[in-house]
């Protein structure tokens, strides 16, 4: 089909889309840059935009159902009904595909752990089947990753919410910064925020409120005379920042801008705080809740580091 046109461009992927009668020129050739695309990947995983991770999806459910068929047994079916307390294939005669389409999300995710435990028990009785345990975890992990859902499975079959690497690192760094008895209440509130995000479905509103409570508690620990955390109260941090960065004009300027960002965060979080006498606000979109909590975690860690820079605190009066 390339008669009379000379050689095709080197080191390029060429898709010939022209019909001689409609498009005889080389302008109908679609070329991709010479950069090699990932090799051996499914087309949808390379060229289709994945978007934000989602909480649930029919493809995830169907793939899990298909996977379970490779590990199915009467013992598994009995265990699923016993542990979940809902009708399964054993009592209904219906397939895993049919049931997983209808089950609540929490039951679908619990089933991942139930299958794991059954496989572990099987491996204890039949050591030659022990490889099936790792295979199950590996396949479930692949499904969660490829279907772009907010879950990961641990090495003991437990399913956990997972948003992204940045959120996970931010979470771990914040918990480490609060690893002092002085910040026990703030840590408790922050862990409450993480627990709210780990619900099925996630409670983003409670997560934002708990993150705010953690920050407000720490702020009031630093400034006992502040009745509540409001944007106007943030100015109390200025003297501390000036003292900390007095010899570094660049750091001082950047920190002053961060104070403005902290004020904006407080005002944004107030949209999801409950005020008596007002109608309860709806749940925020999950991506927004994660973003607000992630930024809040950074502010919380920054406050803890500022507080620690002051030096030893006098003990509280009895």
Please report which confidence band the pLDDT of residue 277 belongs to, taking 50, 70 and 90 as the band edges.
low
Looking at the structure, do residues 154 and 175 belong to the same domain, yes or no? no
Looking at the structure, do residues 126 and 230 belong to the same domain, yes or no? no
Going by C-alpha positions, the residue among 120, 121, 84, 117 that lies closest to residue 99 is 84
* 155, part of any domain: yes
Looking at the structure, do residues 196 and 115 belong to the same domain, yes or no? no
* 209, part of any domain: yes
Contact 211, 269 (CB under 8 A): yes
Count of domains forming the chain: 2
**Span of 20-24, 78-82, 113-117, 168-172 with lowest mean pLDDT:** 20-24
Looking at the structure, do residues 211 and 300 belong to the same domain, yes or no? yes
pLDDT of residue 274: 67
pLDDT of residue 85: 95
Looking at the structure, do residues 213 and 286 belong to the same domain, yes or no? yes
Please report which confidence band the pLDDT of residue 170 belongs to, taking 50, 70 and 90 as the band edges.
confident
Mean pLDDT of 266-289: 81
pLDDT of residue 214 exceeding 90, the answer is: yes
Looking at the structure, do residues 249 and 266 belong to the same domain, yes or no? yes
* 78, part of any domain: yes
Interhelix angle 184-197/286-310, nearest 10 degrees: 170
Please report which confidence band the pLDDT of residue 278 belongs to, taking 50, 70 and 90 as the band edges.
low
* 66, part of any domain: yes
Contact 21, 13 (CB under 8 A): no
pLDDT of residue 79 exceeding 90, the answer is: yes
pLDDT of residue 36 exceeding 80, the answer is: no
Looking at the structure, do residues 185 and 217 belong to the same domain, yes or no? yes
Looking at the structure, do residues 117 and 227 belong to the same domain, yes or no? no
Q: Which of 129, 161, 193 is the last residue of a domain?
A: 161
User: Domain range for residue 107?
Assistant: 58-161
Please report which confidence band the pLDDT of residue 22 belongs to, taking 50, 70 and 90 as the band edges.
very low
Q: Which of 161, 183, 202 is the last residue of a domain?
A: 161
Looking at the structure, do residues 196 and 289 belong to the same domain, yes or no? yes
Looking at the structure, do residues 239 and 287 belong to the same domain, yes or no? yes
pLDDT of residue 262: 94
Q: What's the CA gap between 262 and 268, in Å, rounded? A: 10
| Residue % of the chain over a pLDDT of 90 | 50
Contact 286, 204 (CB under 8 A): yes
Q: Which of 143, 161, 179 is the last residue of a domain?
A: 161
Looking at the structure, do residues 99 and 190 belong to the same domain, yes or no? no
Q: Which DSSP state fits 95?
A: -
Kindly tell me the burial class for residue 7, based on how many C-beta atoms sit within 10 Å of its own C-beta (0-12, 13-18, 19 or more): exposed
Mean pLDDT of 59-71: 96
* 114, part of any domain: yes
Query: Which residues 6+ apart lie within 8 Å of 304 measured at CB?
Result: 177, 178, 180, 183, 186, 218
* 256, part of any domain: yes
Please report which confidence band the pLDDT of residue 18 belongs to, taking 50, 70 and 90 as the band edges.
very low
Q: What's the CA gap between 187 and 247, in Å, rounded? A: 32
Query: Which residues 6+ apart lie within 8 Å of 75 measured at CB?
Result: 118, 121, 122
């Amino acid at each position: 089909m390339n008669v009379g046109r000379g050689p095709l461009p080197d080191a390029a992927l060429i898709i010939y889309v022209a019909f001689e009668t409609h498009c005889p020129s080389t302008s109908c050739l679609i070329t991709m840059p010479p950069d090699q695309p990932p090799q051996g990947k499914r087309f949808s995983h390379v060229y289709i935009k994945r978007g934000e991770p989602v909480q649930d999806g029919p493809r995830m459910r169907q793939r899990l159902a298909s996977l379970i068929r490779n590990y199915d047994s009467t013992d598994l079916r009995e265990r699923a009904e016993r542990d979940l307390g809902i009708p399964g294939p054993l009592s209904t005669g219906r397939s895993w595909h049919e049931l997983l389409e209808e089950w609540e999300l929490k039951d679908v995710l619990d089933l991942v752990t139930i299958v794991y435990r059954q496989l572990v028990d099987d491996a204890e009785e039949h050591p030659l089947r022990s490889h099936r345990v790792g295979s199950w975890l590996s396949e479930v992990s692949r499904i969660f990753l490829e279907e772009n859902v907010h879950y990961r499975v641990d090495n003991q079959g437990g399913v956990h919410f997972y948003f992204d690497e940045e959120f996970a690192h931010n979470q771990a760094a914040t918990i480490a910064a609060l690893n002092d008895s002085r910040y026990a209440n703030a840590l408790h509130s922050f862990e409450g925020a993480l627990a709210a995000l780990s619900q099925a479905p996630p409670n983003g509103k409670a997560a934002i409120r708990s993150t705010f409570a953690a920050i407000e508690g720490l702020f009031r620990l630093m400034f006992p005379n502040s009745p509540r955390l409001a944007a106007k109260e943030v100015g109390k941090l200025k003297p501390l920042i000036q003292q900390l960065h007095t010899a570094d004009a660049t750091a001082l300027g950047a920190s002053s801008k961060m104070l403005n960002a902290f004020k904006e965060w407080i005002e944004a979080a107030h949209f999801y705080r409950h005020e008596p006498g007002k109608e309860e606000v709806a749940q925020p979109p999950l991506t927004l809740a994660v973003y607000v909590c992630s930024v809040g975690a950074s502010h919380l860690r920054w406050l803890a580091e500022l507080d620690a820079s002051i030096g030893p605190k006098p003990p509280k009066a009895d």
